[in-house]
């Protein structure tokens, strides 16, 4: 599971920017200076890039030179021109890329991903995790739980943005998993304190925990990822 999620995150880090329509503006001074990635749109949901562990900036000087910096990548140098609301970035070995300037921001999109640049760097918000419930018994876990988010090394993404669907159906000590990404199957678990512990066929141990906000978390021992679920109707 962790490898699948890491591959998705890596694909975000290497996004290149293509073209899109523009609003009119003609003053090159509007786009000179430093721009920071402040938003990443994935399947209609906008994420803070700092929360994704992603930093990206573009420095445009008056001579028409641009330097792009991005997490895990070497700096890229290009030329730039600007006219009628379109910023054209011209690398040495590639076709020109066009950015839309509107309302003090630059934006772009490619293959369902949107990128938004502003004048101030993005700041990661602290992820607050609801405390675990300790007043639980086996029957407390009963129900159909729909996966909503995955958290890996402090980065949280919705499962829908990863095209992942995970459902847990818990009755007694029986846990049925239905998933388009992790496979499906039926396992049995037992209580360990306030957690329901399930051992998979591949000897991975999963710990299910109920939280005070009504959600359920799934932690696979030895992995960094946590999957969050909400109780279905």
CATH 2.40.128.280 domain residues, the chain: 17-118
CA distances from 197 to 139, 189, 217 (A): 14, 5, 12
Q: Is the pLDDT assigned to residue 211 strictly greater than 90?
A: yes
Distance of alpha carbon 55 from alpha carbon 71, whole angstroms: 5
Mean pLDDT in residue range 13-30: 50
- For the 17-118 domain, the top CATH level (class) is mainly beta
CATH 2.40.128.20 domain residues, the chain: 138-231
State whether residue 124 is helix, strand or coil: coil
Distance of alpha carbon 58 from alpha carbon 53, whole angstroms: 17
Residue 15 confidence class, pLDDT cut points 50, 70, 90: very low
Determine contact, residues 37/88, Cβ cutoff 8 Å: no
- Express each pLDDT in 177-206 by its tens digit: 999 877 788 999 999 999 999 986 666 789
| Distant-in-sequence, close-in-space partners of 189: CB < 8 Å, separation ≥ 6 | 173, 174, 175, 196, 197, 198, 199, 206, 208
Average pLDDT, the chain: 82
Q: Is the pLDDT assigned to residue 42 strictly greater than 80?
A: no
Look up the CATH superfamily of 138-231.
Calycin beta-barrel core domain (2.40.128.20)
Q: Give the CA diameter of the chain.
A: 69
- The pLDDT score that the predictor gives to residue 4 is 37
Q: Is the pLDDT assigned to residue 220 strictly greater than 70?
A: yes
Distance of alpha carbon 233 from alpha carbon 229, whole angstroms: 13
- The pLDDT score that the predictor gives to residue 182 is 72
Any idea which of 88-92, 116-120, 123-127, 212-216 has the lowest mean pLDDT?
123-127
- The pLDDT score that the predictor gives to residue 26 is 65
Note the Cα 200 to chain centre separation in Å: 27
């Amino acid at each position: 599971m962790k490898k699948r999620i890491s591959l998705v995150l890596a694909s975000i880090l290497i996004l290149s920017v293509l073209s899109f329509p523009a609003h009119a503006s003609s003053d090159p001074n509007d786009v000179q200076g430093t721009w920071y990635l402040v938003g990443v749109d994935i399947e209609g949901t906008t994420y803070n890039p700092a929360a994704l562990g992603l930093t990206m900036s573009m420095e445009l000087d008056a001579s028409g030179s641009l330097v792009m910096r991005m997490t895990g990548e070497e700096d890229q140098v290009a030329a730039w021109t600007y006219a009628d609301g379109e910023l054209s970035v011209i690398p040495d070995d590639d076709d020109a890329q066009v950015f839309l300037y509107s309302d003090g921001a630059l934006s772009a999109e490619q293959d369902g991903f949107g990128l938004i640049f502003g004048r101030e760097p993005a700041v990661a918000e602290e992820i607050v995790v609801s405390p675990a419930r300790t007043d639980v018994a086996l029957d407390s876990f009963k129900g159909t739980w729909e996966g909503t988010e995955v958290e890996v090394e402090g980065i949280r993404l919705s499962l829908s943005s990863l095209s992942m669907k995970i459902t847990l159906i818990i009755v007694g000590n029986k846990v049925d998993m239905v998933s388009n990404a992790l496979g499906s199957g039926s396992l049995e678990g037992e209580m360990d304190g306030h957690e329901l512990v399930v051992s998979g066929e591949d000897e991975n141990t999963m710990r299910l925990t109920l939280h005070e906000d009504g959600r359920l978390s799934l932690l696979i021992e030895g992995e960094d990822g946590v999957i969050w679920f909400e109780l279905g109707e």
